[in-house]
Chains A and B, each alone.
Chain A
Amino acid sequence: GNSVTQMEGPVTLSEEAFLTINCTYTATGYPSLFWYVQYPGEGLQLLLKATKADDKGSNKGFEATYRKETTSFHLEKGSVQVSDSAVYFCALSHSGGYQKVTFGTGTKLQVIP
């Protein structure tokens, strides 16, 4: 079945450091890919998405490119801030008969001043 694997956390970075959170997926067909962010005590917010191969999603300085050849959707940001501290979830959505979003286990990011 479909699955999402993302790097274990927590990830601790200094402010202004470069961020990469790896995400790979297994899926049949052509899923859409997402990154969601969960700030402490809050719900999930859509950070960015990509709906087809080679699409790049971007938002708030974060980027991720849908790579079908490597089945990856790695999240990157050039310069993280303390306010980026959160849990990040990679996810894929299914189409067709089984309507659900499959999530990775989440990666906690802590940015220190």
Chain B
Amino acid sequence: EAQVTQNPRYLITVTGKKLTVTCSQNMNHEYMSWYRQDPGLGLRQIYYSMNVEVTDKGDVPEGYKVSRKEKRNFPLILESPSPNQTSLYFCASSLSGTGPGNTIYFGEGSWLTVV
């Protein structure tokens, strides 16, 4: 079954404590991306990756890092989380980007609370 898997699904952490949200896809997709969802703002892109070792900033990259060492994995790293990073995070992937013909698949989301 085609899947984008995120972990953890729910996390409460404290300000400044480094955390990583993992994302894995089993579809051999080249494109992967992270979004955050906030009330009244919809989903906003944090970072994306077009292939291994290729990453680019999205609209709201501040406070986040990513890496793409393997094609299937695209972890999101919060080096020093702050309360304004409390949000619902989604990982997404597609075969070759967001151009015509591509279907973007989303994970189930990770609820992150920073206190």
Which residues on A are within 8 Å of B, measured CB to CB? 4, 30, 32, 34, 36, 42-46, 49, 51-52, 89, 93-96, 99-101, 103-106
B109 interfacial by beta-carbon distance below 8 Å: yes
Asked if residues A49 and B103 are in contact (CB atoms below 8 Å), the reply is yes
Q: In the bound complex, what is the Cα–Cα distance between A45 and B105 (angstroms)?
A: 7
Q: Contacts A43-B108, A99-B50, A106-B42 hold; do A93 and B102 have CB atoms under 8 A apart?
A: yes
Interface residues of B in 10-46 (CB under 8 A from A): 31, 33, 35, 40-45
Inter-chain contacts of A30 with B (CB < 8 A): 100
Q: In the bound complex, what is the Cα–Cα distance between A44 and B108 (angstroms)?
A: 7
Asked if residues A99 and B97 are in contact (CB atoms below 8 Å), the reply is yes
Q: In the bound complex, what is the Cα–Cα distance between A42 and B107 (angstroms)?
A: 9
Which residues on B are within 8 Å of A, measured CB to CB? 31, 33, 35, 40-45, 48, 50, 56, 58-59, 90, 92, 97-109
Q: In the bound complex, what is the Cα–Cα distance between A51 and B104 (angstroms)?
A: 13
Q: In the bound complex, what is the Cα–Cα distance between A42 and B103 (angstroms)?
A: 19
Contacting A44 at CB < 8 Å: which of B33, B40, B50, B90? B90
Asked if residues A32 and B100 are in contact (CB atoms below 8 Å), the reply is yes
- Of A34, A94, A95, A104, most buried by chain B (CB within 10 Å of CB) is A95
Q: In the bound complex, what is the Cα–Cα distance between A99 and B48 (angstroms)?
A: 8
